[in-house]
């Protein structure tokens, strides 16, 4: 018992000491500065359009798809789901203190200090189901993503404003940050290798998109998937590309990564759901 | 250390550009296979290799650096051993071992990874 | 029993509605789906099956709006417009697709300006063929379909 | 019956632009599933468009129109026109949708 307390105390002090070095705001400014300087001609807000902010050939095709984007089907299905009461008669809205019409996406991800974990929008939606006696939906595609598409659509134009308060939140942020910059997989590449240092360069025929703005437009209808998918589905795809074993959607690794990555885009507007190649 | 970076580098060169579409090629870690040459292999040595490979994979997995093919490599090795094809089984076990070890080294090298701009 | 009868009645209604709907479609349309043309593996065969001839006249009055490099061969947005007098239809052929005839658009009063999204198996010429007053006019553009890196 | 076709139609200077999105797998019949079995062909073959009950446009398609097909065309018309689209696929299923021109 004594040992346990001692270990806890040690862990706590180390967490605090660790957190003291964490300066998310300074990180964010450096991150955004890097992209605005690397792509001088691109206005800050444009980064929410991902690769289409810097690839004119791709942009023309994306604009043609945006004429009537396939994600509208998902928004419609998500709206129906949102308005369908659970077996107990309650609705999704009962789980959220903000009306959906004003958008919910901008309140996520956030750090739940009590549970000491990052809560994403998708997690909140599924937890709402479970709290009302319904089974959780799958994380990466299907009904949950339709629901997320509908909810995200209501948040278009709202600014990203992730908050990081307290040592635990800072620790989660730091873990997400470390994940982003750490090389992984057989190709020995990090998220940053592609989406910071090589943003704008080609991988075969693909132009690598800038990391700034990445989380603004999810979930996305991806032509390659022929379907909708969540941000964590995309994370898994990226990890697989560099031959690293993907982590579980909504697990600690990707939730912390989303926390970090979304914080990096603070100040930019949400514009999801999106369409991507 | 030098040997590891060399291996890693050649692994990168060989697999780069095979990002995802050429899964079949990437599935076979050519470097490790080429490296393993002739190992005198029988049930005993195989058991030793596969044990080491599994331990290395578990170690890499515990720190979140498992590579995508390592578990497959080990499974294949076991399958081959089950068929009595020990030469091939040992090669795959070795490949799994090498990947596990390199993945853990990758974790160590990237513990304090951060931006450079 | 009651339930199943109701369901049956409902089913009947739906079927009747469908029949009513189908019969309201122009006869010509139902007869006109040219299976042979759509299943031809060569562009010339598809054209012959569809038009009775594969001979076209090059025309600069037809405009193709399509990418030079497709982001994703599964979804290639294209637009075709033309200013040919008396145009009756616009058809799209992708030479290197397993079945080159992609679609045909019949302008029964509609303007010579259509858009859609198509699948392309590999790099190929895309032909836009306009039929006007019994003659075929065509133009083409090459669209490259590349192997993606990681995509998006 | 079945899934509806989503349509947007707006008029500008006497020309109505109609844009439609249909929910459909558009299987060519040439793809194989993970087990190596051929996925049966399932694609829309004909689309008929009417404005105030009169046919103004038809399309015949093979399997190479992308999944969830998009179609846009124009005709001479006016605001308030009732535009109706009907699609029939190779399995005999019918899809439809309609809208009033803005």
Query: Which DSSP string corresponds to B66-101?
Result: -BSSHHHHHHHHHHHHHTT-HHHHHHHHHHHHHHHH
Instruction: Find residue C101's DSSP bridge partners.
Output: C93
What's phi and psi for A243, nearest 5 deg?
60, 35
> Smallest Cβ distance to A206: which of C67, C77, C150?
C150
The alpha carbon dihedral of A55, A61, A64, A70 has a sign of negative
CB A15 within 8 A of CB A167: yes
What pLDDT score was predicted for residue C18?
A: 43
- Please tell me the predicted confidence (pLDDT) of residue B36: 47
pLDDT of amino acid A18: 53
Helix, strand, coil fractions of chain B, as percent rounded to 5? 70, 0, 30
- Mean per-residue pLDDT for B110-114? 94
pLDDT at D80 over 70: yes
Taking a C-beta distance cutoff of 8 angstroms, is the pair A105, A120 a contact?
A: no
Model pLDDT, residue A93: 97
Is B10 part of the contact surface with chain A (CB cutoff 8 Å)? no
Which residue in A60, A205, A223 is closest to C149 by CB distance?
A205
Per CB-CB distance under 8 Å, the chain A contacts of C76 are 61
pLDDT, one tens digit per residue, over A22-77 is: 899 999 999 999 999 999 999 999 999 999 999 999 999 999 999 999 999 999 99
B15 CB neighbours in chain A (<8 A) are 186-187, 243
Q: What is the pLDDT of residues A193-226, one digit of tens each?
A: 999 999 999 888 889 999 999 999 999 999 999 9
Burial class (CB in 10 A: 0-12, 13-18, 19+), B12: middle
Nearest to C140 by CA among C70, C63, C55: C63
8-state DSSP, C121: S
- Residues 16-45, chain B: which have Cβ within 8 Å of A? 16-17, 19-20, 26, 29
C64, C66, C71, C149: best to mutate for the A interface, most A CBs within 10 A: C71
> Is B74 in CB contact (< 8 Å) with chain A?
no
In angstroms, the Cα distances linking B38 to B73, B78, B87, B95 are: 18, 18, 8, 13
Q: Provide the annotated active-site residues of A.
A: 238
Question: Tens digit of pLDDT for each residue in D12-71?
Answer: 999 999 999 999 999 999 888 888 899 999 999 999 999 999 999 999 999 999 999 999
Name every chain A residue with its beta carbon within 8 A of the beta carbon of C67: 57, 60-61
| C16 interfaces chain A, CB cutoff of 8 Å | no
* Closest-CA distance of chain A to residue C69, Å: 7
C89: tokens are 């239809």
- By CB atoms closer than 10 A (0-12, 13-18, 19+), residue C134 is exposed
A34 interaction partners in chain B (CB closer than 8 Å)? 117
Is there contact between B and D if contact means ≥3 C-beta pairs under 8 Å?
Answer: no
The pLDDT confidence band at residue B41, using thresholds 50, 70 and 90, is confident
Select from C97, C108, C119 the Cβ nearest to the Cβ of D58. Answer: C108
Contact B115 A27 (CB under 8 A): yes
Q: Count CB pairs under 8 A between chains C and D.
A: 113
Contact (CB<8Å) C117/A65: yes
Burial of A43: CB neighbours in 10 Å, binned 0-12, 13-18, 19+? exposed
d(CA C56, CA C132): 11
Both structure tokens of B74: 């080990």
How do C76-82 and D94-100 pair as beta strands? unpaired
Please report which confidence band the pLDDT of residue A21 belongs to, taking 50, 70 and 90 as the band edges: confident
Band of the pLDDT at B17, cuts 50, 70, 90?
Answer: very low
Instruction: Tell me the C-alpha distance between D89 and D2, whole Å.
Output: 12
- Of B89, B102, B3, B80, the closest CA to residue B48 belongs to B89
pLDDT at position A205 is: 80
Decide: helix, strand or coil at residue D91.
coil
Residues of A in contact with D17 (CB under 8 A): none
**Mean pLDDT score of chain B:** 76
Nearest chain B Cα distance for residue A83, angstroms: 39
**Nearest residue of C to residue A241, measured between CA atoms:** C150
Residue A17 confidence class, pLDDT cut points 50, 70, 90: very low
Which pLDDT score, from 0 to 100, does residue C149 have? 65
Please name the chains neighbouring B, where neighbouring means 3+ C-beta pairs under 8 angstroms.
A, C
Q: How far is residue B72's CA from residue B75's CA, in Å, rounded to a whole number?
A: 5
C-alpha span between A159 and C110 (Å, rounded): 43
Please indicate whether, in this complex, the C-beta atoms of A243 and B68 are within 8 angstroms of each other. Answer: yes
Pairwise CB contact (< 8 Å): B115 & A31: yes
Helix orientation angle between A252-264 and A24-38, rounded to the nearest 10 degrees: 60
In order of B11, B25, B28, B70, B98, the CA distances from B14 in angstroms are 5, 9, 10, 17, 16
What residues in C contact B20, CB-CB < 8 Å? Answer: 150
pLDDT tens per residue across span A120-143:
999 999 999 999 999 999 999 999
**Residues 167 through 206 of chain A touching chain C, CB cutoff 8 Å:** 194, 202-206
Q: What is the pLDDT of residue C72?
A: 92
Spatial separation of the C-alpha atoms in residues C138 and B47, rounded to whole Å: 68
- Mean pLDDT for all residues in chain A: 93
- Which residues, 6 or more positions from A57, have their beta carbon under 8 angstroms from its beta carbon? C67, C68, C69, C71
Between chains, do B114 and A240 touch, taking CB under 8 Å as contact? Answer: no
**pLDDT score, position B9:** 42
Number of Cα atoms under 13 Å in the Cβ half of residue A23: 7
CA dist A45 and A210 (Å) reads 13
ipTM: 0.83
Q: Does C147 touch chain B (CB under 8 A)?
A: yes
Beta strands in A64-182 (DSSP E): 110-112, 117-119
Q: How far apart are CA D99 and CA C126, in angstroms?
A: 32
Distance CA B54, CA B70 (A): 9
A68 and D67 within 8 Å at the Cβ level: the answer is no
pLDDT of residue B40: 73
Quick one: average pLDDT of B62-67? 96
d(CA A214, CA A198): 15
**φ, ψ dihedrals at C82, nearest 5°:** -150, 165
User: B20 CB near a chain C CB, below 8 Å?
Assistant: yes
Give per-residue pLDDT as tens, A147-205: 999 999 999 999 999 999 999 999 999 999 999 999 999 999 999 999 999 999 988 88
Q: pTM for the complete prediction?
A: 0.84
Q: C61-72 burial, b if ≥16 CB within 10 A, otherwise e?
A: ebbbebbeebbb
pLDDT class of B11 with cuts at 50, 70, 90: very low
pLDDT per residue over C79-130, tens digit each?
Answer: 999 999 999 999 999 999 999 999 999 999 899 999 999 999 999 999 999 9
| Distance in angstroms (rounded) separating the CA atoms of residues B103 and C130 | 59
Distances from the Cα of C11 to the Cα of A129, A138, C18, C21, D29, angstroms: 34, 34, 11, 15, 29
pLDDT surpassing 90 at residue C27:
no
**A72 CB near a chain D CB, below 8 Å?**
yes
Using the predicted structure, report yes or no on whether residue D91 has a pLDDT greater than 50.
yes
Using an 8 Å CB-CB cutoff, list residues of chain C that contact chain D. Answer: 14, 17-18, 21-22, 25-26, 29-30, 32-34, 38-39, 74-77, 79, 94, 97-99, 101-111, 113-120
Q: Quick one: pLDDT band at residue A242, thresholds 50, 70, 90?
A: very high
């Amino acid at each position: 018992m004594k040992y346990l307390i001692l270990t806890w105390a040690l862990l706590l002090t180390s967490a605090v000491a660790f957190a003291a070095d964490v300066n998310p705001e300074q990180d964010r400014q450096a991150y955004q500065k890097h992209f605005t300087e690397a792509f001088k001609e691109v206005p800050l807000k444009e980064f929410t359009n991902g690769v289409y902010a810097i690839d004119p050939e791709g942009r023309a095709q994306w604009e043609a798809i945006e004429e009537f984007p396939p994600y509208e089907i998902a928004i419609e299905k998500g709206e129906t789901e949102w308005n369908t009461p659970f077996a107990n008669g309650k609705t999704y809205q009962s789980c959220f203190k903000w009306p959906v019409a004003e958008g919910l996406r901008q309140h996520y991800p956030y750090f739940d200090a009590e549970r000491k974990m990052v809560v994403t929008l998708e997690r909140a939606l599924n937890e709402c189901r479970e709290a009302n006696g319904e089974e959780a939906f799958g994380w990466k595609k299907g009904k949950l993503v339709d629901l997320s598409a509908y909810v995200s659509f209501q948040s278009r134009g709202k600014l990203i404003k992730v908050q990081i308060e307290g040592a635990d939140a800072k620790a989660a942020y730091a873990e997400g940050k470390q994940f982003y910059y750490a090389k992984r997989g057989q190709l020995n590449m990090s998220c940053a290798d592609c989406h910071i240092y090589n943003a704008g360069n080609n991988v075969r025929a693909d132009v690598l998109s800038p990391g700034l703005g990445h989380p603004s437009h999810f979930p996305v209808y991806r032509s390659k998937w022929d379907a909708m998918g969540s941000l964590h589905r995309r994370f898994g795809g990226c990890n697989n590309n560099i031959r690293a074993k993907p982590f579980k959607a909504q697990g600690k690794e990707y939730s912390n990564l989303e926390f970090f990555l979304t914080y990096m885009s603070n100040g930019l507007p949400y514009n999801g759901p999106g369409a991507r190649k | 250390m030098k040997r590891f970076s060399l291996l890693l580098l050649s692994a990168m060169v060989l697999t780069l550009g095979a990002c995802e579409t050429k899964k079949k090629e990437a599935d076979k870690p050519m470097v490790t296979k080429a490296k393993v040459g002739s190992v005198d292999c029988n049930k005993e040595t195989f058991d030793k290799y596969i044990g080491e490979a599994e331990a290395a994979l578990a170690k890499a997995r515990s720190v979140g650096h498992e590579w995508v093919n390592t578990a497959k490599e080990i499974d294949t090795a076991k399958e081959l051993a089950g068929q009595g094809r020990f030469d091939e089984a040992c090669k795959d076990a070795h490949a799994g071992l090498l990947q596990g070890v390199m993945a853990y080294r990758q974790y160590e090298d990237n513990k304090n990874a951060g931006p450079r701009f | 029993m009651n339930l199943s009868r109701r369901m049956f009645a409902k089913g009947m209604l739906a079927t009747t509605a469908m029949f009513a709907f189908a019969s309201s479609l122009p006869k010509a349309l139902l007869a006109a789906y040219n299976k042979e043309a759509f299943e031809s593996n060569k562009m010339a065969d598809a054209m012959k099956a569809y038009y009775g001839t594969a001979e076209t006249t090059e025309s600069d009055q037809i405009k193709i709006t399509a990418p030079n490099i497709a982001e994703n061969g599964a979804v290639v947005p294209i637009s075709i417009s033309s200013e040919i007098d008396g145009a009756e239809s616009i058809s799209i052929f992708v030479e290197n697709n397993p079945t080159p005839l992609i679609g045909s658009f019949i302008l029964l009063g509609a303007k010579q300006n259509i858009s859609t999204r198509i699948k392309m198996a590999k790099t190929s010429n895309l032909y836009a063929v306009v039929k006007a007053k019994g003659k075929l006019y065509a133009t083409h553009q090459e669209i490259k379909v590349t192997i993606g890196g990681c995509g998006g | 019956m079945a899934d509806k076709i989503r349509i947007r139609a707006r008029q500008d200077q006497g020309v109505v632009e109609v844009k439609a999105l249909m929910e459909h797998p558009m299987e060519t019949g040439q793809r194989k599933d993970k087990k190596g079995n051929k996925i049966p062909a399932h694609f829309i073959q004909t689309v008929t468009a009417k404005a105030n009950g009169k046919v103004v446009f038809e399309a015949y398609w093979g399997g190479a129109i992308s999944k969830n097909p998009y179609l846009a065309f124009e005709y001479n018309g006016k605001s308030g026109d009732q535009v109706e689209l009907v699609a029939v696929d190779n399995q005999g299923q019918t899809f439809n949708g309609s809208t009033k021109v803005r």
